Amino acid sequence: MTVAVHARSCYADSANPAPDRPALVESVDCDVCVVGGGIAGCSTALHLAERGFRVVLLEAHHVGWGASGRSGAQAISGIATGQARLEELIGRADARHVWDVTVEGLALLRSLIARFRIGCDWRDGQMQVAMNPRQERDLRAELQLLRGRYGYESVRFVGREELRTMLASPRYTAGLCDTNGGHLHPLNYTLGLAEAAESFGARIFEDTRALSYARAPLAGAAASAPLRVRTPRGEVRCRHLVLAGNTYLGPLAPALRPRIMAVGTQIIATERLGAGPAHALIPSDVAVSDLNWVLDYFRRSADHRLIFGGRVSYSGRDSFATAKAARARMLAVFPQLSGTGIDYAWGGQVDITRNRAPHFGRLEPDVYFLQGFSGHGIVLTGIAGKLIAEAIAGTAGRFDVFARIPHRSFPGGIALRRPALMLAMLGYRLRDLL
């Protein structure tokens, strides 16, 4: 069973059965080698295998071990940058294409769950909430943009009085509710995608880290396998390579490291509250996130817990990685939980870019990468796998729209960029208080 090798969380302890997949101990040939067994990698493998490509997926730990299996699990339309900023970066037409892809990503997520009968506790509804008049203005501006310019009708403004019927917290003053969004059990969703990929012939190897790749094939290798991916006990010869390991790629692709940073986040899950008390906290059963730059996010679980995450550590240390700190933030939102126990506390890494836009592209014509989902990974990772499959199959237009989003390296280089980012974040935290 895979569950024993994941970070302890309410997700790992309620994971669906999964097979023990072998490590790679030989040389294998395929059309596409995918590195990374999260949602992005599993979706890529699924969409390629369904098209008839021979696919090998390499996962250094176990499927869903990283962010895909331990996240806040909120399915959100758009990207973390926001559409207004994205229009500044790539123009209105391309920004609209990106938006449309994310909306398609929500539809794709639902269709994959239904098609492959993935038991992952899907629930409709996601809401952003405001804490002050400035944030309320931001919500109204976002509503006007999404409805007026993008024709997105599933989102609506929620005033203070209605918000009290949807969320039993005195902290928030307004919300922007998207009935097209939602939340789920992220580990079970990831495991379901892996099983679906295998049903079309994809081969998944766990406990197999990709150490390096090289252009020159082995002596006598077929001309159709120009890339070699080396692992501790084997290798993969392939025509195309997809790097979907995000912050966990390590030295495999050093060119990607300057444009991405891993920041730590902490999630807790309460003891089981019971159906009635859990319903009373969030009667609407929507997933919720606030508008602060250093945000809180929370939702109900299928077994009637509150799952609460928030804050991040930009220092690379576990300064927020305690149940006590997360619980204090939870009580600021729901003071009525003061006597409630915490059954689970776990941490993980969020992969961010400087502009909070996803970073997709090619290192070489046949070497693709996906990274920098910046907290919007539940939706974007799944549709990104479909876009890569389209590109490898010869239709790269939609992938190339994302590849045109400009990205700059974090200042200070690998050694000094964390201190520089920590200084910048002080300003954003002060802004949250205004």
Identify the CA nearest to 364 among candidates 213, 232, 219, 262: 213
CA distance 61 to 11: 17
Q: 219 pLDDT exceeds 60?
A: no
Phi and psi angles of residue 321, each rounded to the nearest 5 degrees, phi first: -85, 60
**pLDDT above 90 as % of the chain:** 79
Least confident of 107-121, 361-375, 401-415: 401-415
Angle formed by the axes of helices 377-392 and 39-50, nearest 10°:
30
Q: How confident is the model at residue 412 (pLDDT cuts 50, 70, 90)?
A: low
pLDDT score, position 104: 98
Residues 373 and 422 in one domain: no
pLDDT score, position 434: 53
Q: 432 pLDDT exceeds 70?
A: no
Between 332 and 265, residue with greater pLDDT:
332
Residues 37 and 106 in one domain: yes
Residues 381 and 242 in one domain: yes
Residues 251 and 202 in one domain: yes
Give the residue-averaged pLDDT of 33-62.
98
Decide: helix, strand or coil at residue 262. strand
pLDDT score, position 318: 52
Domain membership of residue 229 as a residue range: 1-122+184-258+355-403
Helical residues (DSSP H) of 8-124, grouped into ranges: 39-50, 83-90, 92-115
Tens-digit pLDDT profile for residues 82-100: 999 999 999 999 999 999 9
Query: What is the separation, in whole angstroms, between the first and last Cα of the chain?
Result: 49
Q: 424 pLDDT exceeds 60?
A: no
Question: Can you read off the two tokens belonging to residue 284?
Answer: 């609407």
Q: How confident is the model at residue 228 (pLDDT cuts 50, 70, 90)?
A: very high
Residues 138 and 286 in one domain: yes
Phi and psi angles of residue 157, each rounded to the nearest 5 degrees, phi first: -80, 140
Residues 387 and 330 in one domain: no
CATH number at residue 417: 3.30.9.10
Give Cα 122 distance to the centre of its chain. 16
Decide: helix, strand or coil at residue 313. strand
pLDDT score, position 19: 94
CA atoms within 13 A of residue 217's CA, in its CB half-sphere:
16
Residues 160 and 149 in one domain: yes
pLDDT score, position 417: 45
Residues 218 and 303 in one domain: no
pLDDT score, position 247: 84
Give the residue-averaged pLDDT of 305-334.
77
**pLDDT above 70 as % of the chain:** 89
CATH number at residue 220: 3.50.50.60
Q: 428 pLDDT exceeds 60?
A: no
Mean pLDDT taken over the chain? 90
pLDDT score, position 216: 61
Q: 2 pLDDT exceeds 70?
A: no
CA distance 22 to 267: 30
Longest CA pairwise span in the chain (Å): 72
SS3 annotation, 53-82: CCEEEECCCCCCCCHHHCCCCEECCCCCCC
DSSP 239: S
CA distance 120 to 189: 5
Q: How many CB atoms lie within 10 A of CB 92?
A: 12
Contact in structure between 236 and 80 (CB atoms under 8 Å): no
Residues 306 and 339 in one domain: yes
Residues 195 and 269 in one domain: no
Q: 288 pLDDT exceeds 90?
A: yes
What is the H or E stretch that residue 227 is in? strand 227-230
Q: 213 pLDDT exceeds 60?
A: yes
CA distance 35 to 248: 10
Listing from the earlier edge strand, what are the strands of the sheet with 240-243? 203-205, 55-58, 32-35, 240-243, 367-371, 359-364
Quote the number of domains for the chain: 2
Q: 349 pLDDT exceeds 50?
A: yes
pLDDT score, position 430: 42
Length of the chain counted residue by residue: 434
Tens-digit pLDDT profile for residues 364-396: 999 999 999 998 999 999 999 999 999 999 999
Tens-digit pLDDT profile for residues 162-206: 999 999 999 999 999 999 999 999 999 999 999 999 999 999 999
Phi and psi angles of residue 364, each rounded to the nearest 5 degrees, phi first: -145, 170
Q: 222 pLDDT exceeds 80?
A: no
CA distance 184 to 378: 9
Q: How confident is the model at residue 312 (pLDDT cuts 50, 70, 90)?
A: low
Q: What angle do CA 202, 207, 210 make, to 5 degrees?
A: 75
What are the Cα distances from residue 288, in Å, to 6, 66, 73, 396, 417? 25, 22, 11, 34, 31
What is the H or E stretch that residue 25 is in? none
Residues 337 and 362 in one domain: no
Residues 175 and 188 in one domain: no
CA distance 117 to 79: 27
